[in-house]
Amino acid sequence: MLPSEYTRIFMTGATGYIGGTVMSALLSNPKNDTFEITALIRSAEKAPLFHSIGIKTVIGSNSDLDTLTSLASEADVVIAAADVGDLNAAKAILGGLKKQHEQTKKVPILIHTSGTGVLADLADGNFTADKIYSDLDIPKIETLPKSQPLREIDLEVVAADEEGYVRTYIIFPSTIYGIANTLLVSLGVQNRHSIQIPRLIKAGLARGQGGVIGKGLSLWPSIHIDDIATLYTTVFDAATEGPDETGHGREGFYFGENGEYSMGELSQAVAKLLFEIGRGKNPEATVFTDEELDKYFGIIGRLMGSNSRACAERGRLIGWNPAHNVNSLYASLKPEIEEIVAKQTT
């Protein structure tokens, strides 16, 4: 096979919870033998493990802007899954893709990671919002102000598509759950855990009692880690087939959700499980104080107490079929707690 027949893929975040799962899914793609994958990783010690499965590596991070630009300029597809709130990194990647277009006249692909936090309000757990966003309703999404979390970066990515030097696709994961179990996990190079639910569990363990943000009335969508990975690969497959296979740019928003949960019900479930293992004083969740929110959650506390209501329709139109629902979310809590407790006691 000639080198020109390879799809050159550059990925950031390959050792992360999302990126590592997406990378593992790509390695299972039927067209994997036509991929030439390069990962930007921080640890030189992990490089040989990536090399053992055919992944090239460059040592660096999202703060190495020249490296991001250089690697993006040499890729047919960039999958950005690291430090998704880093505007400078996003601009560096777009700069590299633009440089490539100017030199070759080709139109490379960017699959960028955002999040349904862009839809968040300021509920602080105290009310349920009525507004639900579909990823097919672009005019409604475009009413979101630039001040929303990650929105400024999303707009930068869309603008690049409109300029014509890159085709952009943005994935919006919601609350991701489930312990990752992938090839990269088996190699010891990938983070296995999400952020939001483990943070809630760790806060409950630290205070000796499961807690809830405000009245627990806020609602969020959720998605299993394996299902968000298949959304990436579904979009990847469609994008690499050609520009007419699925929406990109302004119409390239892909929400990742399969069911909605109440923060109050989730918090109560965590509190009950902590009580059952003797790590909570009461099976009923108690309200986190402002001091506890700052201590255990920081800025994520405001996000977790918000409403973020999303309907993922665009991905389903191109064949994405998530296998796990909200029942799987609640089933994931016990093993998550058990693993966190085991790590704290060893």
Q: Measured between alpha carbons, how far is 95 from 93 in angstroms, rounded to an integer?
A: 5
Q: Which of 338, 222, 213, 192 is nearest to 273 (CA)?
A: 338
Please report which confidence band the pLDDT of residue 4 belongs to, taking 50, 70 and 90 as the band edges.
low
Mean pLDDT of 295-322: 96
As given in the structure block, the two tokens for residue 154 are 């999303």
Mean pLDDT computed over every residue of the chain:
96
Query: What is the greatest pairwise CA distance in the chain?
Result: 65
Mean pLDDT of 37-50: 97
Whether residue 110 has pLDDT greater than 70 = yes
Q: Could you tell me the pTM of the whole model?
A: 0.97
The CATH classification number of 3-123+132-191+222-259+313-317 equals 3.40.50.720
Q: What is the pLDDT of residues 320-346, one digit of tens each?
A: 999 999 999 999 999 999 999 999 987
Mean pLDDT of 80-91: 95
pLDDT of residue 155: 98
Question: Please, which residues have CB within 8 angstroms of residue 244's CB and are 6 or more apart in sequence?
Answer: none
As given in the structure block, the two tokens for residue 301 are 């506390």
Q: Measured between alpha carbons, how far is 327 from 78 in angstroms, rounded to an integer?
A: 34
Q: What is the pLDDT of residues 129-149, one digit of tens each?
A: 999 999 999 999 999 999 999
What is the sign of the dihedral through the CA atoms of 153, 228, 252 and 76? positive
Whether residue 1 has pLDDT greater than 60 = no
Q: What is the pLDDT of residues 187-241, one digit of tens each?
A: 999 999 999 999 999 999 999 999 999 999 999 999 999 999 999 999 999 999 9
Q: How many angstroms from the chain centroid is the CA of residue 332? A: 18
Q: Measured between alpha carbons, how far is 315 from 172 in angstroms, rounded to an integer?
A: 11
254 has which bridge partners?
171
* Cβ proximity of 121 and 303 under 8 Å: no
Q: What is the pLDDT of residues 248-298, one digit of tens each?
A: 999 999 999 999 999 999 999 999 999 999 999 999 999 999 999 999 999
Whether residue 3 has pLDDT greater than 70 = no
pLDDT of residue 2: 32
